[in-house]
Structures are given as C-alpha cells and as structure tokens.
Amino acid sequence: MEKLIQNFITHREQTIEELAITHPDFVFDLNNLFENQKKVMKKKLKDEFKKGIEDGKIIGQYGSVSYIE
C-alpha cells in the first residue's frame, strides 16, 4: 500500500494510459485496491442489511418504533 501511494505521488502527472505502459504494476495494484474496497463495502452493506432485517423483526414484535441515525 505504501509503495502504491508513493508511486502515485511520484507519477501523478501521468495519465492512467501512460502509467499502464511505464508502470504496469502500479495500475495492477491500483485496480486490486479498488476491487478489494468494492468487496469490503459489499460485505459491509450486506451485514448492515442483515442487521436492519433483524432489527425490524425485533421492532415488529414489540410495536412500532422510529429512530433517526
């Protein structure tokens, strides 16, 4: 990760296309970082959705409750 950030700072004037030619590892690492973040966010959203369903079941048992986040 640190190497990825350092490469970005060093080569920030280059376009992604130029970086793909001159530093293919950088583009590969950047893509992997985005893909990993997508997976993390997808899992987090799924967990939040499940929690919401469970909260809804509990609220449904005990009457109507509204809350503000």
Q: What is the pLDDT of residue 39?
A: 93
Digit-coded pLDDT (tens) for 12-47: 677 777 777 877 787 788 888 889 999 999 998 888
Where is pLDDT greater, at 59 or 15? Answer: 15
Question: For residue 16, what are its two tokens?
Answer: 């992604």
User: What pLDDT band is residue 6 in, cutting at 50, 70 and 90?
Assistant: confident
Residue 42 near residue 16, CB atoms below 8 Å: no
Residue 27 near residue 8, CB atoms below 8 Å: no
Q: Where are the alpha helices (DSSP H) in 1-69?
A: 2-10, 16-22, 24-61
Say whether pTM exceeds 0.75: no
Dist CA 27 CA 4 (whole Å) = 9
Q: What is the pLDDT of residue 63?
A: 57
